[in-house]
Amino acid sequence: MREAASWLAPGRVNLIGEHTDYNDGFVLPLAIEYGCRATVSPGPDGLLRFVSAQESDPVEIRIPALQPERMTGWAAYPAGVLWALGPDLPGLTVTVDSDVPLGAGLSSSAALTCSVAGAANDLLELGLSPRELVAVARKAENGFVGAPTGGMDQLISMLGEAGSVLFCDMRSLEVRPVRFDLDADELALLVVDSRAPHQHADGEYAARRRSCERAAHVLGVRALRDVSLSGLDEALEKLARDSEGEELVKRARHIVTENARVNDVVALLESGRVREIGPLLTASHASMRDDFEITVPEVDVLVESLLSAGAYGARMTGGGFGGCVIALLDADAVPAATQAAANAAAARGFTAPRAFVTSPAAGAHALDGPDAG
């Protein structure tokens, strides 16, 4: 066995397509420049040892104790990856360091699991493909940590490409890079982290999943992906007659219109009409706020302020109940928009947001040479 293997895997923002992943629908994320670096090395015997630069204490567990949904705390993520790669693991030490803000909706968890999966695959010479590593990282979160995420995060962290957003069909898991060249148009994608506390996010996420599954069941389709925009009115009439009708109508309307918006954004990007995606981003936000009901005042205020500052479009990105907002704007409008967002948050007494400009970065990859740690 080699002495060590190191990988870097990025966080992500989702340009559009929220909560559509677990409805077998479409998403359009990009990998960002922030990522997690993981190094996996052999030993100590019979033990798995996890060290994070973001945590004060290492975590150790004996290999036979590696059981799903028993471990709590951050080390469950890398432990879940090793569990998904097992059985017959040797003793291993996993060391990670990430500059993705934790729990901000930028998918620090997928950056963590994908970087560990890649490094462990190399060290153990398992020969898994990037797609197989996506499945490993997803199994770690879903099957070991017990986080019911829909699969987008691991896909983009592993398969993202510099300069492109990744159009993902979450039923077939087919992906297609779509050029998203902001520089050529003198545009910028601004990310503003609301830093709002993520309250009730897990319970609400599970409730949204349940509503979507129920709506699909009532409509007699496999998933809400199977309801087209032209069939929406008829579907909503049917849902309205259910005992949970009012809620199901709103949830389904978000998913069906959001899938259509993702496809419209792809078509605009592919014909070079980048600015024109703005209104679709803003419509996505309205749909998340009014129909899917996953936004909070902290992010609504940021979206409004960015639009007032001249953004072509703005929306919350990520699962909701806090997290980040993205805005598409002229590159030279970034300083004023950032200030407007800060002012709007301060006027409402909200935590000061943190902003950064991003563009599509590379997906997960091995680090070698002196970087390899």
Residues engaged in binding ligand ADP (CB under 6 A) = 36, 52, 54-55, 74, 77, 96, 98, 102-109, 112
Interacting residues with Mg ion between 167 and 226 (CB under 5 A): none
Structure tokens at 132: 């197989």
**SS3 state at 219:** helix
User: To the nearest whole angstrom, how small is the minimum distance from the Cβ of residue 198 to ligand ADP?
Assistant: 8
* C-alpha span between 260 and 143 (Å, rounded): 31
Of Mg ion, ligand ADP, none, which one does residue 196 interact with (CB within 5 to 8 Å by kind)? none
User: To the nearest whole angstrom, how small is the minimum distance from the Cβ of residue 175 to Mg ion?
Assistant: 19
CA triple 80-371-56, angle to 5 deg: 50
**How would you class 276 by CB atoms within 10 Å of its CB: exposed for 0-12, middle for 13-18, buried for 19 or more?**
middle
* C-alpha span between 23 and 257 (Å, rounded): 13
Of ligand ADP, Mg ion, none, which one does residue 99 interact with (CB within 5 to 8 Å by kind)? none
157 binds Mg ion (CB under 5 A): no
Structure tokens at 283: 């419509």
Between 107 and 259, whose beta carbon lies closer to Mg ion?
107
Structure tokens at 137: 């990282």
**SS3 state at 20:** coil
153 tagged catalytic: yes
* C-alpha span between 144 and 233 (Å, rounded): 40
Instruction: Give the number of other CB atoms < 10 A from CB of residue 176.
Output: 12
Per-residue three-class SS string for 267-334: HHHHCCCCHHHHHHHHHHHHHHHHCCCCCCHHHHHHHHHHHHCCCCEEEEECCCCCCEEEEEEEHHHH
User: To the nearest whole angstrom, how small is the minimum distance from the Cβ of residue 265 to ligand ADP?
Assistant: 22
CA triple 42-87-148, angle to 5 deg: 105
> Could you please report the per-residue DSSP string of 112-137?
HHHHHHHHHHHHTT----HHHHHHHH
Residue 109-128 contact track with Mg ion, rule CB under 5 A, x = bound: x-------------------
User: To the nearest whole angstrom, how small is the minimum distance from the Cβ of residue 35 to Mg ion?
Assistant: 14
User: To the nearest whole angstrom, how small is the minimum distance from the Cβ of residue 16 to Mg ion?
Assistant: 18
Backbone angles phi, psi at 214, to 5 degrees: -65, -45
Closest residue to bound Mg ion by CB? 109
Residue 48-87 contact track with Mg ion, rule CB under 5 A, x = bound: ----------------------------------------
Of Mg ion, ligand ADP, none, which one does residue 121 interact with (CB within 5 to 8 Å by kind)? none
Between 23 and 109, whose beta carbon lies closer to ligand ADP?
109
Between 54 and 351, whose beta carbon lies closer to ligand ADP?
54
Of ligand ADP, Mg ion, none, which one does residue 98 interact with (CB within 5 to 8 Å by kind)? ligand ADP
* C-alpha span between 172 and 135 (Å, rounded): 13
Element (H or E) spanning 100, and its range?
Answer: none
User: To the nearest whole angstrom, how small is the minimum distance from the Cβ of residue 311 to ligand ADP?
Assistant: 23
Cβ(116)–Cβ(38) below 8 Å? yes
Structure tokens at 95: 């060391």
User: To the nearest whole angstrom, how small is the minimum distance from the Cβ of residue 46 to ligand ADP?
Assistant: 23
Between 107 and 284, whose beta carbon lies closer to Mg ion?
107
Of ligand ADP, Mg ion, none, which one does residue 77 interact with (CB within 5 to 8 Å by kind)? ligand ADP
Catalytic-role residue among 153, 193, 291, 300: 153
Between 8 and 216, whose beta carbon lies closer to ligand ADP?
8
Of ligand ADP, Mg ion, none, which one does residue 74 interact with (CB within 5 to 8 Å by kind)? ligand ADP
Between 102 and 207, whose beta carbon lies closer to ligand ADP?
102
Between 93 and 107, whose beta carbon lies closer to Mg ion?
107
Torsion sign (Cα): 86, 121, 11, 130 = negative
Which range in 82-90, 102-110, 189-197, 322-330 contacts Mg ion by CB under 5 A? 102-110
* Residues engaged in binding Mg ion (CB under 5 A): 107, 109
Question: Which residues are marked as active site?
Answer: 153
